[in-house]
Structure 1
Amino acid sequence: MSEWDSGKNDGKPGWNDQPAAVADASEGKQSRQDRKLIDKLVMSMQVEQRRSRRWGIFFKFLTFAYLFGIVLLFKFPLGQGLESATGGMHTAVIGVDGPIAADELASADNIVSSLRAAFKEPDAAAVILRINSPGGSPVQSGYVYDEIKRLRAEHPDKKVYAVISDIGASGAYYIASAADEIYANRASLVGSIGVVAGGFGFTEVMGKLGVERRLYTAGESKGFLDPFSAEKPEEVAFWQSVLENTHGQFIAAVQEGRGDRLADDPRVFSGLIWSGEQALELGLIDGLGSASYVARQIVGHESLVDYSRTRSPLRNLVDQLGVSVGHGVAQYVSEQRLELR
């Protein structure tokens, strides 16, 4: 037997010892790989746990915010700007801000409820309508106009003043004309006594695209002013009569409210809008001044108390988060409605 066979060669390993050494090295390498794999698995589990905790905290926060919002909604569904209990005589202020429409802050329901609260309050010496609105629905404006007239007749000792800030046009001026007196800034925009309704016609575009309009109706005028069909002169004439009838209602309301103070100028009812100084010359307003001026100099009670209905905190939060964008887009798409402008 050779020295290599017996494993004897000055203490050096023989051929028979070599497989065992290779096996040990392979086992060590496998062990290191296993440890790395276990380490990765443990780290992955830790990352997943941290991620789960973060998502858990996030959803808990959302749940808390939702419940808190619900509490706010029920506690403050539609509140008042300032406390009405001042312990003394004051001048009530009601804001008419933004578009006048049923689904807006300046809706007839909100304004009328504020008016009734102000007239009911014995410490409110007078009521100021603080207006900053481009107008809107003739129906909503008419509701407020009629209620002001009713409350004035029911409480003859409590006067109503309209004060226009940036703009008091169209339906907003409709409301203002029901007041005892109207005031504005010299640069305010006042008037726009007119009615407008608009839309679009797509017939030529559809023809170029090869699109055929198919409209099925029961009732010969049910497809009235369809934007995808050619205009019919008789329908246009009828719609114009509706606009003129509504305009006539607007004019009659302004004439009733303003009386002989209006200048004998046909442009007053033409739909034009005027500066405060021009409006004063035309008799559309009675003087130049702010709400504070009217309370101090005209009413005689400088303390102002806001009776305006305001949005709930939850609605403000939702609007600030941008949820109202979808509502705005939908409103823009459906804007073929009658408005006082």
Structure 2
Amino acid sequence: MIEPRVKRHFEHLAQRVFNVPLMIEETKAEMIAAALQSRLGIFQVSRIDGTVLGANEMQALAGDARRSWGDNWKPYRTDGQVAVIEVDGTLVHKFGWLDPISGMTGYDGIAKKLRAAMKDDDVKAIWFDIDSPGGETAGVFQLAELIALNTKSEGGKPIWAYVNEQACSAAYALASVCDKIYAPVDAIAGSIGCYCMHVDFTAALDEAGIKVTMIRSGERKARGNAYEPLEDTTLAKLQAWVDDTRERFARLVAQGRRQTFKSIMATEADWFQAGEAQRLGLIDDLMSEEDAWDKLLRSISRSR
């Protein structure tokens, strides 16, 4: 019997794994629980024979789960000679999870898959299947640089992106450095910009009769907190930060899409439907996923 303490956002996983009949061999079920233990807050697993697995044993068992899949296990799905890497949902820096889950994908997971695919002699091309509104700034530029350095144009393998059906903000940053970008007519892409949100609770605190006093050592310590009005110096600092990030983003896209920095900045961080995105040079062509896939396969065949 498995007794989890379920963390929010993973309840749907627990409902499918725990306290329901499973048609799976018991040791495999234990491996699944071990692999999910850090995400679901499972501290121990009571086995059928009465023994108990603690956190350390589950970590070891999670490692065994991967090995049990065989020496040919790959961290990505392959279709013929193409490695398919999903970029799905909100993108975050250090998710520590290879596959998209609970509406999030980690930059670290994408990077691990990309590095493995580049070393895989059976993989002749890489297909990024993108459906994401973007996410964290932290980590995105490093991953975009890694992708750019491994493209066919840089002497690596062909890396194509398919917008299926959204590639905005950080997701577009990753797409923009690929060799090719294709999309269906209903896709949206772009949003080449950055923003920062500041929350000011002072009015709500006043209404509730709560007074917060900040005691700081160092004039700039804890400036921009939610319990004081945002003063001009901090506002200017935050504005400069987002402006710098937007410019870095625009230069990345300009280089990847062979556009001018001025033309990318002129988009004013707007998002565009596929036809307009193509006109602006943000994507290469409009076509179905099947047609784009066939185009990639023909490209691989010609390069042999």
After TM superposition, the score normalised by the length of structure 1 is 0.62
1:137 aligns with 2:126: no
Tell me, yes or no, if the aligned pair for 2:77 and 2:83 is still in contact at 8 Å: no
Q: How does 1:324-339 map to 2 (within 5 A)?
A: none
User: Relative to 1, partners in 2 of residues 1:209 and 1:157: Cα closer, same or farther, differing over 3 Å?
Assistant: closer
Cα displacement string for residues 213-250 of structure 1 (whole angstroms, at most 9, x for unaligned residues): 11112221112111111121121111101110111110
Question: Hey, what does 2:213 align to over in structure 1?
Answer: 214
Distance 1:184 1:114 in 2: 22
1:90 and 1:290 map into 2 onto residues whose CA distance is 20
> Which region of structure 1 is more displaced relative to structure 2, 139-148 or 149-158?
149-158
1:297 and 2:295 correspond: yes
In structure 1, the partner of 2:46 is 63
Instruction: Say whether the 8 Å CA contact 2:183–2:274 is kept in structure 1.
Output: yes
For residue 95 of structure 1, what is the aligned residue in structure 2? Answer: 86
Aligned with 1:283 (options 278, 281, 284): 281
Q: Size of the alignment, in residue pairs?
A: 239
Q: Which residue of 2 aligns with 1:107?
A: 106
Which is higher, the Rg of structure 1 or of structure 2?
A: 1
- 1:172 is displaced (CA, Å) by 0.4
Contact 1:165 / 1:290 at 8 angstroms: preserved in 2?
no
Structure 1 regions of 5+ residues with no counterpart? 1-60, 304-341
Q: CA deviation at 1:300?
A: 1.9
**Counterpart amino acid of residue 192 in structure 2:** I
For residues 224 and 121 of structure 2, what CA distance do their matches in structure 1 show? 51
C-alpha deviations, 1:96-137, integer Å up to 9, x for none? Answer: 112111243422221111111111122322111111111112
The structural deviation recorded for 1:72 is 5.7
Cα offset, 1:264, TM superposition: 3.9
73-82 vs 166-175, greater mean Cα deviation:
73-82
Matched residue type, 2:63 = F
Q: 1:98 to 1:235 in 2, by over 3 A?
A: same
Write out per-residue CA displacement over residues 24-77 of structure 1, whole angstroms, 9 at most, x where no aligned residue.
Answer: xxxxxxxxxxxxxxxxxxxxxxxxxxxxxxxxxxxxx96128749937623336
- Normalized against structure 2, the TM-score is what? 0.69
SS at match of 2:225: coil
The match for 2:178 is: 179
Q: Given residue 245 of structure 2, which amino acid in structure 1 is its aligned partner?
A: T
Over 3 Å counting, the alpha-carbon distance change for 1:125 and 1:292 in structure 2 is farther
Shift of 1:266: 5.1
Larger strand proportion of the pair: 2
- CA gap of 1:202–1:262, structure 2 versus 1, over 3 A, is closer
- Bigger RCO of structures 1 and 2 (CA < 8 A, at least 6 apart): 1
Give the secondary-structure state (helix, strand or coil) at the position aligned to 2:259.
helix
Residue type of the partner of 2:235? V
Superposed CA RMSD: 3.1
Matching of residues 24-39 of structure 1 within 5 Å = none
Greater per-residue helix proportion: 1
Amino acid paired to 1:248: E
Q: Percent identity?
A: 25
Q: Is the 8 A contact 1:184 1:276 kept in 2?
A: yes
Q: Does 103-112 or 237-246 show the bigger shift?
A: 103-112
Separation in structure 2 between the aligned mates of residue 171 and residue 83 of structure 1, nearest angstrom: 23
* Contact residue 262 and residue 284 of structure 1 kept, 8 A: no
Q: What CA distance in whole angstroms lies between the structure 1 residues aligned with 2:172 and 2:76? A: 25
2:62 aligned to which of 66, 73, 79? 73
In the other structure, the counterpart of 2:270 is 272
Structure 2 residue runs of 5 or longer lacking an equivalent are 1-43, 68-72
Larger CA deviation: 146-155 vs 192-201: 146-155
